[in-house]
């Protein structure tokens, strides 16, 4: 019978320790650049948008009332303008950033 994964890993590390091989570089050695940060942000906003749309669709299917009822509930909370504009920005930013970054990538 063959060796187990644990034995293979032990053999691998023993061989590397004996040969004094350097460890491969990690992410921390790379200098951050704007395209790298934009790519990470693009992926993050894509994941956030897909989760948001999925949760909104699931809520539309499972919640008992219609959308105007929940909108009236939010309006009855009398939230301040700073909180409302912050929430609007939190909803609009991922969509606009992901869209324009996608257009930039295609161009």
Mean pLDDT across 45-72: 93
Answer whether 0.85 is exceeded by the pTM: no
DSSP reduced 3-state for 33: coil
What confidence tens digit (pLDDT) does each residue in 62-90 have? 999 998 999 899 889 989 999 999 999 99
69 known member of a binding site: no
- Cα dist. 101→13, 49, 87, 95, 107 in Å? 43, 14, 22, 10, 10
């Amino acid at each position: 019978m063959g060796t187990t994964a644990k034995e293979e890993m032990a053999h691998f590390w023993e061989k590397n320790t004996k040969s004094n091989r350097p460890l491969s570089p990690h992410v921390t050695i790379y200098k951050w650049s704007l395209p790298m940060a934009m790519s990470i942000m693009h992926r993050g906003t894509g994941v956030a948008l897909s989760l948001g749309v999925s949760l909104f669709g699931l809520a539309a299917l499972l919640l008992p009332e219609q959308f105007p009822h929940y909108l009236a509930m939010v309006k009855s909370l009398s939230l301040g303008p700073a909180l409302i504009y912050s929430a609007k920005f939190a909803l609009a930013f991922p969509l606009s950033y992901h869209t324009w970054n996608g257009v930039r990538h295609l161009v």
